[in-house]
Amino acid sequence: MRRLKKAPLAFLLPAVFAMGSAQALAEGIAPPSKEAKAIAQETIIVDGHIDVPYRVHRKWEDVSIATKGGDFDYPRAKKGGLNAPFMSIYVPASLDNSAESTAVAHQLIDLVEAMVYRSPDKFAIAKTVADVKEQFNKGLISLPMGMENGSPIQGSMENLKTFYERGIRYITLAHSLSNHIADSSYDLRRQWNGLSPFGKELIVEMNNLGIMVDISHVSDKAFYQAVEISKVPVIASHSSLRKYTPGFERNMNDEMVKKLGENDGVIMINFGSSFVSKETQDWRNNLTKQKNKLIEELGKDSPQVKAFDEKYRQENPYPYSTLSQVLDHIDHVVALIGIDHVGIGSDYDGVGDSLPIGLKDVSTYPNLVQGMLDRGYSRADIEKVLSGNFLRVWSEVEDYAANH
Ligand SMILES: [Zn+2]
């Protein structure tokens, strides 16, 4: 990482006046070079997971213009060179396998369609790799869709087909609780010991239709079973590495990453600080542990619990991870299985105020590019990470479905 204090003065002074440098300076990160900005603009950038639909569903905002809050809006996406953010059609785990979960998924898809309907000069739905490429050439931001949590399928291949037709191109099999498809890494109950019998059938049908299998969030066993069953490579749309967050099953361990490599799949690195660094994990675990103890004693609505939470945060400022630590995750995947299996799945708009220094919103992809350049990655390699690897997997999934 290029830290400002190491930068020569001649470089520093013009940078201070460069556009957008105020934020970079405040964060102690040098603004990206012309080359990094050019690569971000000239390369298709696919982000595996951005939670715009649920954010807007909860608190409506017009993201086709600059918004005060949130991590995504059109002007910032353009500035960052983002071309195909996967819109997360996220359904809360509490609604598993219910008519309501299916309804929420449809409503969120409606919302993405409305974004395009209102701003056809800015956004377009993307259902194929060809759509993404064509729309990139037209200067439009593609909005492909991935469903986070398979609960809306409700055990029905008919529902699966309907969602495919509406544009869903990956399904994260489970979210924070074990559902009717798979066990979740966050849920100690392992009701299926991996995938459910329906989950196993579902993967076959997803392959046949051309919907990517997303193993982010599922338990380790569910991951291995999914890889065994799937006839095509799988993706992790927004996961990082357990190596840097020991004990955090939501991230992938080295053995799983190697298996993903053999499967020719891709892991798209989640930027959220607690996905990236042990310090942040520890900070959160400590808070939760102490708070849960108080809740047990006093009940969760006790003012003392709230006061403790505030005091903890004051006394222990949130340890944001850094761009450099995110790059460590990319480096480690490359060290394990090579450059062809890593991408980005930021989780923007999905992880609250926990984004790393240097990667705060969709305008900051050039910082990531700069970081990779500084670490000696070639332009061709950077292009693979920004979209090449993911688009290769998506194409393979399309080809398989076309022949089945
Ligand atoms: Zn998620």
CA of 98 to the centre of ligand 1 (A): 20
CA of 132 to the centre of ligand 1 (A): 23
CA of 175 to the centre of ligand 1 (A): 7
Q: Is the pLDDT of residue 377 over 80?
A: yes
CA of 258 to the centre of ligand 1 (A): 22
Beta bridge partners of 3: 29
Q: Is the pLDDT of residue 11 over 50?
A: no
CA of 217 to the centre of ligand 1 (A): 7
CA of 56 to the centre of ligand 1 (A): 16
CA of 348 to the centre of ligand 1 (A): 10
For the segment 290-349, what is each residue's pLDDT rounded down to a tens digit?
Answer: 999 999 999 988 999 999 999 999 999 999 999 999 999 999 999 999 999 999 999 999
CA of 381 to the centre of ligand 1 (A): 26
Note whether 186 and 148 are within 8 A (CB): no
| Cβ-based burial of 224 (10 A; exposed 0-12, middle 13-18, buried ≥19) | middle
Confidence (pTM): 0.91
CA of 101 to the centre of ligand 1 (A): 16
CA of 168 to the centre of ligand 1 (A): 16
Q: Is 299 left (phi over 0), alpha (psi -120 to 50) or beta?
A: left
CA of 18 to the centre of ligand 1 (A): 35
Top-tier CATH class for 18-277+322-402: alpha beta
Percent of the chain having pLDDT more than 70?
Answer: 93
CA of 268 to the centre of ligand 1 (A): 12
CA of 308 to the centre of ligand 1 (A): 28
CA of 229 to the centre of ligand 1 (A): 23
Average pLDDT rounded to a whole number, residues 85-108? 95
- pLDDT category, 18, cuts 50, 70, 90? very low
Question: Residue 111: what pLDDT?
Answer: 98
Candidates 4, 40, 26, 47; CA nearest to 346 is 47
For the segment 220-266, what is each residue's pLDDT rounded down to a tens digit?
Answer: 999 999 999 999 999 999 999 999 999 999 999 999 999 999 999 99
Per-residue 3-state assignment (H helix, E strand, C coil) for the chain: CCEHHHCCHHHHHHHHHCCCHHHHHHCCECCCCHHHHHHHHHCCCEEEEECHHHHHHHCCCCCCCCCCCCCCCHHHHHHHCCCEEEEEEECCHHHCCCHHHHHHHHHHHHHHHHHHHHCCCCEEECCCHHHHHHHHHCCCEEECEEEECCHHHCCCHHHHHHHHHHCEEEEECCCCCCCCCECECCCCCCCCCCECHHHHHHHHHHHHHCCEEECCCECHHHHHHHHHHCCCCCEECCCCEHHHCCCCCCCECHHHHHHHHHCCCEEEECCCHHHHCHHHHHHHHHHHHHHHHHHHHHCCCCHHHHHHHHHHHHHCCCCCCEHHHHHHHHHHHHHHHCHHHEEECCCECCCCCCCCECCCCCCCHHHHHHHHHHCCCCHHHHHHHHHHHHHHHHHHHHHHHHCC
CA of 200 to the centre of ligand 1 (A): 21
CA of 347 to the centre of ligand 1 (A): 7
CA of 55 to the centre of ligand 1 (A): 13
CA of 38 to the centre of ligand 1 (A): 30
CA of 250 to the centre of ligand 1 (A): 9
Note whether 300 and 265 are within 8 A (CB): no
> What is the C-alpha to C-alpha distance for residues 125 and 135, in angstroms, rounded to an integer?
9
CA of 238 to the centre of ligand 1 (A): 7
CA of 227 to the centre of ligand 1 (A): 19
Task: List the domain boundaries for the chain.
Answer: 18-277+322-402
CA of 6 to the centre of ligand 1 (A): 36
Question: Residue 300: what pLDDT?
Answer: 85
Question: Residue 99: what pLDDT?
Answer: 95
Which of these ranges, 6-10, 17-21, 267-271, has the smallest mean pLDDT? 6-10
CA of 148 to the centre of ligand 1 (A): 7
> What is the C-alpha to C-alpha distance for residues 229 and 215, in angstroms, rounded to an integer?
13
CA of 174 to the centre of ligand 1 (A): 9
CA dihedral 143, 148, 154, 160 (to 10 degrees): 40
Note whether 253 and 243 are within 8 A (CB): yes
CA of 345 to the centre of ligand 1 (A): 10
CA of 16 to the centre of ligand 1 (A): 36
